[in-house]
Structure 1
Amino acid sequence: MIAIFKREVKNYLKWPLFWVGVLLVIYGVFNARSPYLTTHYLEQGEKIVNDYPDTVDSADVYEGYIPANPEKHREIWIGQIKQKLMAEFEMSDLDAQSVINNLADMELEEAFVYLEEEYDWYGARYLYENSTYYKGTPEEINAYLDEKMENKTFSFYYSRKFADFAGLFMFFFATIMLAVLFLQDTKKHTYELLHTKPMSAGKYVLGKVSAGFTVCLIALAILNIVFWALCLIYTKDSGFEVRLWDFVVSTVL
């Protein structure tokens, strides 16, 4: 069994397609997760420029968005409600403000129902959901990063983003790479030769499968080291803490 295990691992490591697959996985994960590496504290006067809306339902801090706390969320939503009432219902500023005053003491669900029943408007709920994140000022973004980094390292957050896509790409990698695990022996008639040796079928299968699993672990180890190094390179001027252990834990999970 050990001989089969060693032979299979060596065969994979000598196979050019294996290294091509590893490079493709690295490229795929990097292409999907590289924007997160640009996360940094904003300097005075620096702004993240994009043409995205002021509020969205989901976004990331590297894009200039931060999550609104309940009070801020309600404040943004109220402002958007007033604008919609004036634009779509052609209300005057005074009339729109009167509606806003009525909403002030209502619970959120109660406010949704009020607008639906009184004005036949069902977009208020969507408007609230779409204002979950808003474009923060440099001070707000830096404060948000401070809060996030207080108890967790940057690599703690990034490694989880990394693991999501690493797992996805490794699924395709393993499917293609391990498809030839037993096929090679049947093509070269090694299977019949092995069964002339004092080896059970169970040991043969166990040796092959454990070798395939080890090869996948080698690919994952390479991925962890590469993206840990990328984290160090990209964040060297940001003052963020980066630990290899965070990548290992995320990969295992």
Structure 2
Amino acid sequence: MLKTIMRMELKRYFRNPIYYIGAIVVALGVYNNVSPYLTIRYFNQDSEIPALAEYSEIDDADIMEGYIPASKEEQYAMGLEKIGQVMMDEYGFRPAEAKELTGKLEKSNLSFMEIAEYMESNYSFYGANTYFYESKMKQASAEEANHYIEASLKEHTYSNYFSRKYADYLGVYIIFYAILMFAFLFIRDSKRDIYELLHTKPLKAWQYIIGKLFGGMAAMGFVVGMITLLFDIIVMKNGKAAGFPVSFWDLWLA
């Protein structure tokens, strides 16, 4: 009886147009978010790497834009530079005064949090440590970016790196998709006399609930499988075309 309920539930999903429309929306949404990671390539010259002016943009940048993790020393220097700029823009410091302050902080070897506490207590400058965290990525030269890509791909395949982003975005979209589908089918069920069904058929309540649950999970699993297969084909094709190592199973194991 449990298998019968599961089959009935699957048929209800497969006959519902919203099921297919939602699956297409999920696939397009995931593609829209992960498409930049499908175009990672080696850089030929420095001019191919854009200079991002906004700190928030740099913080969000990745190797696909030509940005790589900064070393601790570089992060420290860039954070102090930003603090000095803020002191000139918002606190009226002259360039020489800002340079003197950042030089003093640099020689002090204080941690990010200690600098934040110092700036807060002496200048009422709050959140100075955030400027260091915003400096965790730096604009690389073409040589640096290519070296970073090569070093990373020696540790893991290109498809492995892609699978991490893919799993994150797919998980978000599938959750909303599943909630929508379950809610829609629940509303439809509520229009029927489920109490009468449970008392006129050789069916227990727990069988009905478990059958519907497993049927819904199977329907969602089918969508995940089809979308993953589609992206797997794309990643395999793009990765091989770019000369990156790839594995068919990386997306499935993410």
Normalising by structure 2, report the TM-score: 0.80
1:61 deviates by 1.3
Give, in angstroms, the shift of residue 248 of structure 1.
Answer: 1.9
Greater helix fraction, Structure 1 or Structure 2? 2
Residue 26 of structure 1 pairs with residue 30 of structure 2? no
Answer whether contact 1:78 1:100 (CA < 8 A) is retained: yes
Report Cα offsets for 1:165-187 as digits up to 9, x if no partner: 21111111111212244554554
1:239 aligns with 2:243: yes
Distance in 1 between residues matched to 2:150 and 2:35, nearest whole Å: 21
Number of residue equivalences = 248
Equivalent of 1:64 in 58, 66, 88: 66
The answer to whether the aligner puts 1:144 opposite 2:148 as a matched pair is yes
Shift in Å at residue 241 of structure 1? 2.5
Query: For the residues of structure 1 that align with 2:82 and 2:194, how far apart are their CA atoms?
Result: 71
1:210 aligns with 2:206: no
For 2:87 and 2:230, how far apart are their aligned partners in 1?
52
Quick one: which amino acid aligns to residue 234 of structure 2?
L
Q: 1:39-58: CA deviations, max 9, x gaps? A: 11112456123553488334
Identity among equivalent pairs (%) = 34
Q: Specify the code of the residue in structure 2 equivalent to 1:13.
A: F
The one-letter amino acid paired with 1:216 is M
Shift of 1:24: 0.4
Which residue does 1:154 correspond to in 2? 158
- Paired with 1:82 and 1:184, the residues of 2 have a C-alpha distance of 62
The Cα of 1:101 is off from its aligned counterpart by: 5.4
Helix, strand or coil at the partner of 2:44: coil
- Calculate the aligned-residue CA RMSD, in Å: 3.2
* SS class of match (2:27): helix
SS of equivalent to 2:241: coil
Which residue of structure 1 aligns with residue 196 of structure 2?
192
Residue in 2 that maps onto 1:13: 14
Bigger mean CA deviation after superposition, 68-77 or 159-168:
68-77
Cα distance in 2 for partners of 1:78, 1:21 equals: 48
Shift of 1:221: 0.8
**C-alpha offsets along residues 142-199 of structure 1, whole Å, 9 cap, x if unaligned?**
1111222111112222212111121111111111212244554554657735642322
Which residue does the alignment assign to 1:225?
229
Contact 1:58 / 1:132 at 8 angstroms: preserved in 2?
no
In the superposition, relative to structure 1, how do residues 47 and 190 fare at CA in structure 2: closer, same or farther (>3 Å)? Answer: same
Give CA deviations for 1:30-73 in whole Å, capped at 9, x if unaligned: 11221122211112456123553488334211122111011222
Question: How much does 1:229 deviate?
Answer: 1.9
Question: How has the CA–CA distance of structure 1 residues 215 and 44 changed in structure 2, closer, same or farther, with 3 Å as cutoff?
Answer: same
CA contact 2:198–2:204 (8 Å) conserved in 1 = no
Say which SS state the counterpart of residue 199 (structure 1) adopts.
coil
Residue 44 of structure 2: aligned partner: 43
Shifted more, 223-232 versus 122-131: the winner is: 122-131
**In the aligned structure 2, how far is the partner of 1:114 from the partner of 1:182?**
57
The verdict on how the C-alpha distance between 1:46 and 1:234 changes in structure 2, with shifts beyond 3 A counting, is: farther
Q: Which amino acid aligns with 2:165?
A: K
TM-score (norm 1): 0.80
CA–CA separation in structure 2 for the residues paired with 1:189 and 1:65:
59
Does the CA-based 8 Å contact 2:87-2:93 persist in structure 1?
yes
Change (3 A) 1:45 1:197: same
Conserved? CA contact 1:85–1:91, under 8 Å? no
